[in-house]
A and B are shown apart, each in its own frame.
Chain A
Amino acid sequence: MVDTTRNIKMYTTYGTKSAKPVQPKIAAKMISKAKRPLFVVSSIVLDEDLLKRAIPIANKTGMQIAATGTSIKGFLNEDVKAKYINIHALAAYLGDTGWNGLDGEGHYDLIIVLAHKKYYINQVLSGLKNFTDLTTLSIDRHYLQNASMSFGNLKPETHLEALDELIDNL
Chain B
Amino acid sequence: MSEIRAGSFTIEELENVQITIGSIVGAIEKKAEDEGEMGPTPKPGIVDIREWDHKLLNRYEPVYTPMCDQCCYCTFGTCDLTGNKEGACGINMAAHQAREFLLRVITGAAAHAGHGRHLLHHLIKTHGADHPIDVGPTNIKAPVIQTVTGIKPETLGDLEPVLDYVEEQLTQLLATIHAGQEGAAIDFESKALHGGMIDHVGMEVSDIAQISCLGMPKADPEAPLAEIGMGTIDSKKPVLLCIGHNVAGVTYIMDYMDEHDLTDKIELAGLCCTAIDMTRYNMDAGGTPTAKIVGSLAKELKYIRSGIPDVIVVDEQCVRADVLQEAQALSIPVICTNEKIMYGLPNRSNDNVDDIINDLLSGREAGALVLDFDKIGELAPRLVMEIAPIRKAKGITALPTDEKFKELTNKCVHCLACEMACPMNLPISDAMTAAADGDLTPFEILHDKCIACGRCEQECPKDIDIVNVIEKASQKVIREEKGMMRAGRGQVSDPEIREEGVNLVLGTTPGIVAMVGCSNYPDGTKDLYDIAKEMLKRSYIVVVSGCTAMDLGMYKNEEGKTLYEEFSGSFLKGNLINVGSCVSNSHITATTIKVAAIFAQRNVTGNFEEIADYVTNRVGAVGIAWGAYSQKAASIGTGCTRLGIPVILGPHGSKYRRALIGKPYDSHKWSVFDARNGEEMAIPPAPDFLISTVDNAEEIMPILAKSCMRPTDNNMGRMIKLTHYIELSEKYLGVMPDDWHKFIRTETDLPLARRKDLLKILETEHGWEIDWKKKKILSGPTMKFDVSAQPTNFKRLCKEA
Binding site for B on A (CB under 8 A): 9, 11-17, 42-43, 68-70, 72-73, 76, 83-84, 86-89, 91-93, 95-96, 98-100, 116-120, 123-124, 126-127, 129-131, 142, 153, 155
Contact = CB atoms under 8 A, between A and B. Distances in A.
B83 interface: yes
Contacts, number: 134
Interface string B110-125: 0000000000000000
Given A88-B693, A119-B423, 5 more contacts: A14-B68, A15-B69, A17-B83, A69-B694, A99-B663
B82 A86 contact: no
Given A88-B654, A131-B64, A70 B703 contact: no
A33 to B, nearest CB: 23
B622 to A, nearest CB: 14
Given A86-B699, A88-B692, A130 B84 contact: yes
B657 A123 contact: yes
Given A92-B61, A92-B659, A87 B66 contact: no
A47 B262 CA distance: 54
A16 B696 contact: no
A16 B665 contact: no
Interface in B692-713: 692-696, 698-699, 703
A42 B733 CA distance: 12
A14 B67 contact: yes
B63 interface: yes
Interface of B: 61, 63-70, 80-84, 93-94, 416, 420-421, 423-425, 522, 651-652, 654-655, 657, 659, 661, 663, 665-666, 688-689, 692-696, 698-699, 703, 732-735, 737-738
Contacts of B655: 119, 123
A16 B699 CA distance: 34
Most buried by A among B70, B657, B733: B733
27 contacts: A11-B420, A14-B66, A69-B695, A70-B695, A70-B698, A70-B732, A72-B733, A72-B735, A84-B733, A86-B692, A88-B659, A89-B688, A89-B689, A89-B692, A91-B63, A91-B65, A92-B63, A92-B663, A95-B63, A100-B665, A120-B654, A127-B63, A129-B82, A130-B69, A130-B84, A131-B84, A142-B425
Contacts of A119: 423-425, 651-652, 654-655
A12 B657 CA distance: 14
A155 B696 CA distance: 24
Nearest to B83: A130
Contact of B64 (A9, A42, A130, A153): A130
A79 B351 CA distance: 77
Q: Which 9 A-B pairs have the closest CB atoms?
A: A15-B69, A69-B695, A123-B654, A127-B65, A120-B651, A123-B65, A92-B661, A92-B63, A73-B734
Nearest to A100: B665
B295 to A, nearest CB: 23
Contact of B68 (A15, A68, A72, A100): A15
Contact of A88 (B63, B70, B665, B737): B63
Nearest to A95: B63
Most buried by A among B83, B654, B657, B692: B654
A89 B661 contact: yes
Contacts of B652: 119-120
